Amino acid sequence: MKTVFKRTPTIKDYPTHYCPGCGHGIAHRLIAEAIDELNIRHRTIGIAPVGCAVLAYNYFDVDMVEVAHGRAPAVATGMKRTNPDKIIFSYQGDGDLAAIGTAEIIHAAHRAEKITVIFINNAVFGMTGGQMAPTTVLGQVTATTPQGRTAASEGYPLQISELLAILPGAIYVERRALSSPGQVHKAKKAIKHAFELQVNSAPGLSLVELLSPCPTYWRMTPAEAMDWIEKEMTKVFPLGCLKDVSRDL
């Protein structure tokens, strides 16, 4: 029989702990493909966040560390500064990167750390039970916004990628979605580009934000969740390249 599709080597053969319809599996696969295509598996170190993806080392077959909530960019700084030849990436959710770790990501970008950040935005805290995240959209019902998020009470969704893109040290910032095969292809291209910049020692931080479905805490079917990303989330978090310094080089 002819094999038409198989695991990419950097993804381990391990039963998934993610919920049905979750976007993490897709994101993991795309990162692993990028690592394999760039042939950097043997010199890549990954950083797992606190959140649903804390167990990412069960899936990625690279050296990995698990760190305190939000501190991945600081840990990445310590790793990259002492190991400039290694490829360092952090994998962080919206609670991790846009709430408790806001200072760390802003300052890692501000210092132009030569690291790659994959930022998973699913508009909720997943692991703790679907509470409001900084990226929760207005009107969205979560465990801690039972009446829906209101600007008056909880403020506005935080567009942290836009904030980061204005910093000179952030050399590449792109937002993509995992909502359809076409979007997944574009996401893959962005992820690979982000890693490529680091491989080429480009002078700063590269970040790809991925709008990712959480059907469990959105109280939707997986198909409805994909739909909601395209119809609702992209209104607040428009897709596209926010910044790419390498284009101007």
Binding site for another protein (CB under 8 A): 41-45, 54-55, 57, 60-68, 71, 74-79, 81-83, 86, 103-104, 106-107, 110-111
**CB closer to another protein out of 66 and 224:** 66
**CB closer to another protein out of 60 and 237:** 60
| Least distance in angstroms from the C-beta of 204 to another protein | 15
| Measured CA distances, 173 to 25, 59, 99, 170, 191 (Å) | 22, 25, 19, 7, 10
**CB closer to another protein out of 30 and 106:** 106
| Least distance in angstroms from the C-beta of 100 to another protein | 10
**CB closer to another protein out of 43 and 186:** 43
| Least distance in angstroms from the C-beta of 140 to another protein | 29
| Least distance in angstroms from the C-beta of 82 to another protein | 4
